[in-house]
Structure formats: C-alpha cells, structure tokens
Amino acid sequence: MSTADEDRIALDLLDAHLEELWRAACELRRGNRAVVPGPPREPAGAAGYGAAAELLRWGYRRLDTVPRAPADVFARGVGETLRELRRRRSRWNEAALRLLEDPYVFLATGPRRHEDWAEDVLALMHREVPDPRGWLRIDHDRTDDARHTVPAYPFEPPPAAGFQDRLHELEPAGAVTALAVMAEEWEGGRPVRDRPERDALLAEARILLERYGPDARFWTNARDAASEPARDFVRAGLKGTGVHRFLTDAYVNGLDLLEELGLVAVSGDEVGVFWSIGAY
C-alpha cells in the first residue's frame, strides 16, 4: 500500500470518527441519550511529513481541545472541526461546501464499473460504493431510519433500464447552471441569478464538474432539457423546472418530498450524482 493510500485511509478514519462523534453530540444537545465514541488512536502517519500528515495532526489536536460540555458547545465544536477537516482535504471539497452545504442536497461520486452507467448511479443512491478519491459526500439521509422503509431514501429510482426515459442529456454549460442553481432553497431565499456572488457560485460549480474531465457527459431529470440541452437553470430559477421523478412518494418521519432537480455526471471512470430536494 502506498503512502498516499495510507494517508487517505487515516483521514477517512478521522472523518468517520468525527461524524459519529458529531451525531452523538447532536443527540445530547437535544436532551437524548447517546453513546459518545472514545477517541481514536492517532495514526503513525500523523508523525510524518507532507500535507496529509499536517492535516492529521491538526485534526487530532483540534479534537483534543473540543469541550465535552455543555452539549451545545460540544456539538458546535465537533461540527466545526469536521467541516474544516473536509474543507482542507481538497479544493473540490471546499467548492462543494461553499455551494451546497446549506440546502437539502445529495452529493456523491462513485466508480464507473458498468457500461450502462445507470447501474453505477443506482449503487450511489443505495450507498453501496465509496468515493474513489475519499472526497466529500453530502448525504443527510445516510443513517436515517427511513432507509428501513425505503432503502435508497430519499430516492426510489427506477431500474437502470428506466433511466433513459427520465434523464435528458445536457451540454456542459447547462450542467454548470443546473448545479449552481442547487444553491437555492425550494421555499424562500434569494435566487442565484440575483445574488452578488452569482459568478462565484458558477465558478464553484465548474470546479465540481471539472473533476469528471473534459470528456464527461451530463444528464438531468429536468423535462425542459429534452428540447433545450443548453438550458440556463440559473436564469429560470430552481422552482421554474419540471422534472421526471426519482424521489420516493412515501411519507416518512413527517416529511413529504415534493420537489427535486437532479444532475448526473459521467466519465470513463467516475459517476457523480447531485440532487436538490424540496421537503415539507
């Protein structure tokens, strides 16, 4: 195993521990009981040189300084540490957090293993594969007990053969605007087209999609893309889009999932899924 692989595994383990710790801290903040995991042993790689070793040392030092009480301070400290660790791991992570941290979105990348890439999209929606580079995922429902009822929650996608009827190809420029408009909320908030940081948000979307290379192809569940593959989603706004449905119709945990916009990026070796969700 190479040093780079060892560094990635060590950072993945620290990330996973911080997420588990953050979830426990959030339960304590709500007044619930929770098992707080003990601190992991600092890996040998943290004593080495290079950016990964420096980041590992920073993460473990920061973790040691987070107060365990009161619960709200504990949760905030762990959450801030987790976010900063993820931001520092890559420019791609940083762009994803800037663009999509606040809205209800699903963001994941997995390996391309099938000629029919719809099979790889299904693997991502079912959380069956890791990110090939160990980069950020945004998946608020990964540990939701709703998945006992709907395994791919919030998705209830068709079989791979049904994707061709629900996805339309986008030109790269259209894909950038489809991703950038996901920075909006379905209800309330300012549309991206009216924000002073509009160009910066479009730049972050380009960084995310450049991951998939110059030959990447893009698809969306937006109906209008069938006749307008260069559609400007930012100009139209998030709510100005009709779609083919991939979300579940099930009413679970008091939530109806009523609105969505999806984007799929496909390269020779990776598949990315970006989905904006309106829940009420």
pLDDT for position 209: 98
pLDDT for position 159: 96
Closest CA to 119 of 209, 111, 134: 111
Tokens describing residue 229:
């593959």
pLDDT for position 263: 98
pLDDT for position 275: 98
> What SS3 state is found at 194?
helix
- To 10 degrees, what angle do helices 51-65 and 3-29 make? 20
pLDDT for position 210: 98
pLDDT for position 45: 62
Along the chain (280 residues), what's the average pLDDT of each consecutive run of 10 residues? Answer: 75 88 88 84 71 89 90 92 89 95 95 98 97 92 88 96 96 98 89 95 98 98 95 91 93 89 98 96
Q: Which sign does the torsion angle of CA 7, 87, 24, 104 carry? A: negative
Measured in degrees and rounded to the nearest 5, phi and psi for residue 267 equal -120, -175
pTM of the model: 0.87
> Residue by residue, what is the 3-state secondary structure of 65-111?
HCCCCCHHHHHHHHHHHHHHHHHHHCHHHHHHHHHHCCCCEEEEEEE
